[in-house]
A = this chain, B = another copy of it.
Amino acid sequence: MEDRLSRVFAALADPIRRDMVARLAVADATVNELAEPYAVTVQAVSKHLKVLEDAGLVSRSRQAQRRPVHLEAEVFDLMTKWIERYRREAEQRYQRLDAVLAEMADEQQTQTLEEDAS
């Protein structure tokens, strides 16, 4: 799974990682702060952060022994663009189908009216 988009989607497929992203949207946090609410070891959280970092979703600086984690909002654009593109196509197709069905209904009604008239 080497490509960027795959890494980003995979990173957000985990509930703990999504929750960390949600919390990081509010404020930067250290590894220990992030680990606190979850029923897993701090090492596990450290691994989760590596996944998020490899996906480009977060960056880490250094502050004494602490490694504050910061959310990188730009990466979200990648996903949004991908999603919106295909959703739009699919919706347009759906609307075309609706149009075709409406046209067929119209024709049907015209036929019925002609029958009534005869």
Contact = CB atoms under 8 A, between A and B. Distances in A.
B84 A21 contact: no
A17 to B, nearest CB: 10
Chain copies in the assembly?
2
Best-surrounded residue of A1, A7, A73 (most CB of chain B within 10 A)? A73
A44 interface: no
Contacts of A77: 87
A18 to B, nearest CB: 7
Interface size class of A (residues with CB under 8 A): 35 or more
B9 A86 contact: no
21 contacts: A1-B15, A6-B18, A9-B9, A13-B13, A24-B90, A25-B87, A25-B89, A25-B90, A25-B93, A26-B89, A26-B93, A71-B86, A73-B91, A76-B83, A76-B84, A76-B86, A76-B90, A77-B87, A79-B79, A80-B87, A83-B83
